[in-house]
Structure 1
Amino acid sequence: MLRKDVDDKLKWDLTDLVKDDEDFEKKLEEKVSLSKNISDFKGKIKDLKSLEEVLKLYEKYLEVDRLVGGFASLYFSEDGTNTKAYDYLEEYDKADTVSSSNMSFLDDEIMELPDDVLDEALEKLDFALVYLRRLKKDKAHKPTFAVVDALTKLNPVFNAPYGIWEGAIAGDVRFNSLKLDKEVPMTFGLYEDKYEGSSNTELRRKSFEEFVSVMRKYQTTLALNYNTQLKAEKALSEIYGFESVFDYLLDLQDIRREVYEDHIDTLKRELPKHMRKYAKLVKEKYGLDKMTYADLKAPLMPEFEKDISIEDSKDYLRKGLAIFGEDYVNETIKHIENKWIDFAQNEGKSTGAFCDSYYKLHSYVLISWMGKMEDVFVLAHELGHAGHGRYSSMDNSIINMESSMYISEMPSTCNEMLLANYLINSTDDEEFKKWVRVQMIERTYYHNFVTHGIEAIYQREVYRRIDKGENINADKLNEIFRNTLEEFWGDDVEILPGSELTWMRQPHYFMGLYPFTYQAGLSIGTELFRKLQTSTESEKEAIIENYKETMKTGGKLSPEDWAKKLGVQIEGGKALKDTIQYIGEIIDEISK
């Protein structure tokens, strides 16, 4: 379906960000103007007073930039075939190049301040704490101003691989209709959101064959594009004086290398046995002669799946998230009622689902609504991000709002677990309870924990090769991904030809070491949920209040301190191990 044919009730309203074309141009002009005002401070940041003045301007700049940049990005995500979306992105990129160049001196000049001035600023300029703390830490890796200026001007080039991938998937990749008992339409989004998880084995397998046959045609180009991303990250790690690309990327998340390595090793060691057991359950359910990669996401209890309207979803969310209190629930439901969610299914729309939060405003959520209970879990997940965004902006400046990527999936996971818990406790039907547990595996954990976990294992090997100076091409990426899949699934799953092309499907590889943060956030969220399960009512109130206060810290706490504040230990992979064990316990319950 084309975007123009979609019911307006299913579309989001982006006018809270940008009202119209005139407002878009006005905000771009304001963005550039503020950057010029900041540039007037070049060579003049000498003391606390001048530092505070320029940072106040920078704060205003970020607020404007977030609105106009977010609008351009969201407009593109709703329909990548719309040429106007490319116009918005191009106009934004032009303005951003000018603005970034105007402000390229800022980090360097602040880092040149004496340590006593920086220390005083950290103590007194709380509105810029996260930024100043980052700069003080980065002093050890500071390149010359000329290098920084050049890198700033090259920002559009560094960001290009992600845009090229999005453009290729949304604008170029096209599939043939499937020939079953009737002709079935096939798109990238339909495969990822519907066919891959279909209970119809013929549809699952034929759509997989069509999917990989088409994606294979683009593997050389997309591998070259990905290699460009990898080389850029490696080059930046060297420019900034890091020993490896891992150290550079993990520094951006404020995570120690040993925490990351323990994480990947634990995934490889502990998770496969549980998921192989689950794969056997799926094989038995469908009476398959062999379990293939194309069957992994087949629903275990499709007979329990029922149609759910968007209106119905509000009731489930209200009851499932009631533990957070009336204010939290009302703010959550507003996203549905105020058209802050795009529910549409149309060609060119970004696949999957995401939440984008805006300072002192609200969040926008993108989802392709299929009308199933799974969609309610997706909504609960994304609106968990929205709740996090709202609390993060409550008591913080925009500079301090964003927390580490490492814990970003925690609030969303907690929402899903609470929804599942409500559903289990709302019935005496043991089969329905079993179905909810199946949803916890298929929805909450499978994609975000298992799929992205496999990606994280694969990604580590890719970056290891990059650190050794190897070039990456399609053959090498296919080899690494196939080896990763075969090691993970063993003899229990046949890794079909084309399975290795899975690396082409995700945009996460253009976001640094993003995939492993899914399991990190899920682990912290699971641990918090389990604490709530074993607590008294008064203890639950204290846990929830502490949780909200933790979200309000924004980016002020390191991921490890964030987890500690919630009473969760991530050192040594403890939370991850406990969560994997919990996944195993759920699968054991399902097996009974």
Structure 2
Amino acid sequence: MKKREEIPVCHTWNMADILPSEEAWENLFRETEQALSGYKKYEGHLADSGEMLFSCLEFDEEISLKIETLFVYGRQKSDENTGNPRYQEFSSRARALSYETAGLSSFIVPEILEIPQETLSRLRKETEKLKRYDRTFEIILKKKEHTLSASMEALLAKSMDATSGSSDIFNMFNNADVKFPEILNENRELIRISHGNYIALMEKQDREVRKSAFEGLYSVYKQFGNTLAATFASNLKRAAFYAQARNYPSARAHSLGENEIPEEVYDNLIQAVHENLPLLHQYVSIRKKALGVEELHMYDLYVPMVSREEQKISFEEAKAMVLEGLKPLGEEYLSLLKEGFENRWIDVYENEGKRSGAYSWGVYGIHPYVLLNFNGTLDSVFTLAHEMGHALHSWFSDKHQNYVDAAYKIFVAEVASTCNEALLIRHLLEITEDKAERAYLVNHFMDSFRGTLYRQAMFAEFEEETHRRLGKGEVLTADLLCSIYRRLNEEYFGPDMIVDREIDYEWSRIPHFYTPFYVYQYATGFSAAIAISSKILAGDEKVLKGYYEFLSGGNSMTPIDLLKLCGVDMSTARPVTDALAVFSELLEEMSRLI
């Protein structure tokens, strides 16, 4: 694996667009640290006048943007090489400063809620500038029953740094310390398993390679099973503590409430998926038949059902494929894609110590960034489309919303990214004239349903059960977590799947579990994206116009209302069942093709 300095500069992101140097970071840190004393002049005086209230909110906004700049720069530089202590320090210092700021600013919300409603209304009416914070006031007032006294809010804010250890420990273990074994590849050459090459190995036609990669990866997680169970349980306890402190009945209610999502959305997803588990069982049967195996194992889930000569797609080819596939979104969207491709928004290739996976992130007022570990597979092309969907969602929100309203909620975060993937796969299906190629693409589309809608719903169900058991006082040992995870795999995949013992430990390697009740949004976002992309491809100009409004909406309204702009109502199970109807059609086509 290449070292960071061996990667061509043109394939790395340009962090100088955020800050020109480490010295600039240090200067901004000192400037922000010194500015924090400015909070004192506002505490106890927010009701004095509309001007005072506005000045406080504006000051808090400025500090927040500076800390965002410090943290994003430090974290992204750290992600370039997670073993680099210099940037680990930057990231840690920025986060500690954010926690200090949270403590110093914690009086703001309780103090606003203490202002009599009539007085607050008068201040807002008298001070035109306060209109900038209308949505802020709406959110604050919704959370009145979950907001504590100023002193208690300060205490909770100060506790955040002390309680973040479980996530930090997992991140360092999974990205910096963990070492996977070497295996023989299809050419009988020794290669080391990594986060970056694991899925590519699982897609190999050589079954022994897949089996070796699968068993090799999970042998490491099993070896640290007790430690990872303790880390996982600690993070659940953290979530339970903050939910209880804020007067929520559960960690789930807290997480969904923070995003203005009704809890029935979660329940509707699980119910709709369970009602359609026979479709996943049918998928397993088709896969078993297509691969011609007597037993279908978990390491057989990623290899294409239809064999074809393995294609290595260059990054230049991948960019061209994404641009062509997203043409239905119009010239404005395409021109922004090109800008990102040509101006080093993207960190492209894996290097030694680089953070695994992919993401999009950035700082308000500066273009978004994308981290990839591009490996030349079709999956990595879809990852490019996916992450650029996130990036342009952020770009549109930043352009059309002020800083306080720009950051869209997690619930809608996966819609734009998955919509891009859906448009790309349908484009590729449309242009192919080869039966084998079509079968390969149908397989890929089906795997998106299996991997995003079903798999993430299963993750969501695992989270729901583990949080609930913790709430009842159960000790979440590695054995218990493995047994819960095994049962869910057996239920979801059905009788034609051999549920290998190794998969029992999959829960221990999922980073998103350290952001409680996040993963369900992949499934709901996927469902919404299938609906939106279908309407755009059908030429529905109203939906396309609504989609741009959605992309530009940021957090200017609730996530449910934002999606209604595109004709999708996620307060019902309809988008999920409609998406699974498309899955059913794909299953029927695949049955004819194999």
TM exceeding 0.5: yes
Are 2:547 and 2:566, in contact at CA under 8 Å, matched by a contact in 1? yes
Are 2:432 and 2:438, in contact at CA under 8 Å, matched by a contact in 1? yes
CA RMSD of superposed structures (Å): 2.0
Cα distance per residue 1:421-459 (max 9 Å; x no partner):
2222223334333322222223x3333223222211111
Q: Please, what TM-score do these two structures have when normalized by structure 1?
A: 0.94
Change (3 A) 1:570 1:391: same
> Where do 1:182-581 residues align within 5 Å?
182-270=188-276, 272-303=277-308, 305-442=310-447, 444-535=448-539, 540-581=540-581
Q: CA deviation at 1:3?
A: 2.3
Change (3 A) 1:396 1:288: same
- Answer with 36-45 or 290-299: which moved more: 36-45
Change (3 A) 1:13 1:301: farther
Letter in 2 for 1:6: I
Match of 1:52 in 2: 54
Gaps of 5+ in 2: none
Match of 1:108 in 2: 110
CA distance in 2, matches of 1:63, 1:513: 26
Q: CA deviation at 1:218?
A: 1.4
Q: CA deviation at 1:304?
A: 5.6
Instruction: Specify the SS of the correspondent of 1:365.
Output: strand
CA distance in 1, matches of 2:392, 2:184: 44
Change (3 A) 1:97 1:248: closer
Q: CA deviation at 1:492?
A: 1.3
- Answer with 520-529 or 310-319: which moved more: 310-319
Instruction: Specify the SS of the correspondent of 1:512.
Output: coil
Letter in 2 for 1:218: F
Letter in 1 for 2:57: L
Instruction: Specify the SS of the correspondent of 2:288.
Output: helix
Cα distance per residue 1:150-182 (max 9 Å; x no partner):
111111123322221110011221122114663
Match of 1:89 in 2: 91
Give the total of aligned pairs.
Answer: 586
Q: CA deviation at 1:106?
A: 1.9
Q: CA deviation at 1:52?
A: 0.8
Instruction: Specify the SS of the correspondent of 1:298.
Output: coil
Instruction: Specify the SS of the correspondent of 1:408.
Output: helix
CA distance in 1, matches of 2:226, 2:134: 44
Cα distance per residue 1:391-429 (max 9 Å; x no partner):
111221111112221121111111111112222222333
Gaps of 5+ in 1: none
Are 1:279 and 1:493, in contact at CA under 8 Å, matched by a contact in 2? yes
Match of 1:76 in 2: 78
Q: CA deviation at 1:495?
A: 0.9
Q: CA deviation at 1:122?
A: 6.9
Q: CA deviation at 1:240?
A: 0.8
Are 2:328 and 2:536, in contact at CA under 8 Å, matched by a contact in 1? no
Match of 2:589 in 1: 589
Letter in 2 for 1:436: L
Are 1:220 and 1:473, in contact at CA under 8 Å, matched by a contact in 2? yes
CA distance in 2, matches of 1:134, 1:294: 46
Change (3 A) 1:266 1:120: farther
CA distance in 2, matches of 1:196, 1:116: 62
Are 1:35 and 1:103, in contact at CA under 8 Å, matched by a contact in 2? no
Letter in 2 for 1:381: H
Letter in 1 for 2:348: F
Change (3 A) 1:305 1:542: farther
CA distance in 1, matches of 2:372, 2:454: 21
Cα distance per residue 1:340-389 (max 9 Å; x no partner):
11111123222221111432221111111111232221111111111111
Q: CA deviation at 1:118?
A: 4.0
Identity of aligned pairs, percent? 24
Q: CA deviation at 1:34?
A: 3.8
Letter in 2 for 1:203: V
Instruction: Specify the SS of the correspondent of 1:185.
Output: strand
- Answer with 542-551 or 423-432: which moved more: 423-432
CA distance in 2, matches of 1:569, 1:91: 42
CA distance in 2, matches of 1:416, 1:61: 36
Q: Please, what TM-score do these two structures have when normalized by structure 2?
A: 0.94
> Where do 1:37-186 residues align within 5 Å?
37-46=38-47, 47-119=49-121, 125-179=130-184, 182-186=188-192
Change (3 A) 1:209 1:427: closer
Instruction: Specify the SS of the correspondent of 1:446.
Output: helix
2:37 paired with 1:27: no
Match of 1:11 in 2: 12
Are 1:264 and 1:457, in contact at CA under 8 Å, matched by a contact in 2? yes
CA distance in 2, matches of 1:92, 1:331: 30
- Answer with 187-196 or 372-381: which moved more: 187-196
Change (3 A) 1:441 1:374: same
Letter in 2 for 1:391: F
Letter in 2 for 1:236: Y
CA distance in 2, matches of 1:50, 1:299: 62
Q: CA deviation at 1:97?
A: 3.4
Change (3 A) 1:64 1:403: same
Instruction: Specify the SS of the correspondent of 1:557.
Output: coil
Are 2:195 and 2:357, in contact at CA under 8 Å, matched by a contact in 1? yes
Cα distance per residue 1:233-286 (max 9 Å; x no partner):
11111111112222112101211112211211222221x322222223332333
Letter in 2 for 1:581: A
Change (3 A) 1:408 1:97: closer
Cα distance per residue 1:276-298 (max 9 Å; x no partner):
22223332333222001121112
- Answer with 412-421 or 181-190: which moved more: 181-190
Change (3 A) 1:136 1:473: same
Change (3 A) 1:257 1:162: same
Q: CA deviation at 1:126?
A: 3.6
Letter in 2 for 1:69: F
Are 2:44 and 2:111, in contact at CA under 8 Å, matched by a contact in 1? yes
CA distance in 2, matches of 1:533, 1:304: 30
CA distance in 2, matches of 1:127, 1:161: 37
Q: CA deviation at 1:230?
A: 0.8
Q: CA deviation at 1:205?
A: 0.5
Q: CA deviation at 1:541?
A: 3.1
CA distance in 2, matches of 1:127, 1:588: 52
Cα distance per residue 1:317-347 (max 9 Å; x no partner):
2221122222211111222211111111123
Q: CA deviation at 1:23?
A: 0.9
Q: CA deviation at 1:99?
A: 2.4
Q: CA deviation at 1:7?
A: 3.0
CA distance in 2, matches of 1:119, 1:441: 53
Cα distance per residue 1:184-242 (max 9 Å; x no partner):
32233145332223222111111111111111121111111111111111111111111
CA distance in 2, matches of 1:502, 1:363: 31
Cα distance per residue 1:90-129 (max 9 Å; x no partner):
2223322332332222222222222234446777534323
Q: CA deviation at 1:527?
A: 0.6
Change (3 A) 1:96 1:559: closer
